[in-house]
Amino acid sequence: MFFSLHIVFASLDLELAFRLVAVVITAQILLFGPLSVLLEGSPSRLRRRTTNQTGALLSLPLCVGLAWAYAGMAWSWPLVLLLSGTSLGVHMMLDRRLSTSVNGPSWVG
């Protein structure tokens, strides 16, 4: 939906709306695993951890596409590394939280 919106906003020269949707798309890609964990709502830490790890893997090709878009439809290793590294860092922080929290309160459920 957001991808379609950003195409529509770009074609209509709605710069602010385009930029807002681009920020949402970026957040979705960088937080793919954590958002999936929240949407899944599983009571099992193991299941949440597996969902986050799967999300981390799925976010990597999306980060490459995002870097390509941000670089003006051109290849940019620095952007690929920055976005992929950021995404992996976010996913690793949640993975660590899910692997070390036993019986304590958790912001992921």
User: How does DSSP classify residue 17?
Assistant: H
Amino acid found at 89: G
Q: Do the domain assignments include residue 10?
A: no
Q: What are the phi and psi torsion angles at 31 (to 5°)?
A: -110, 30
Q: Do the domain assignments include residue 53?
A: yes
Quote the pTM value.
0.83
Rounded to whole angstroms, how far apart are CA atoms 68 and 43? 37
Q: How does pLDDT run across 54-101, given as a tens digit for each residue? A: 999 999 999 999 999 999 999 999 999 999 999 999 999 999 999 986
Domain containing 59 equals 31-100
Rounded to whole angstroms, how far apart are CA atoms 45 and 50? 9
Task: Select from 91, 69, 90, 95 the least CA-distant residue to 80.
Answer: 69
pLDDT-derived band at 103, boundaries 50, 70, 90: low
Q: How does pLDDT run across 83-94, given as a tens digit for each residue? A: 999 999 999 999
Q: Do the domain assignments include residue 107?
A: no
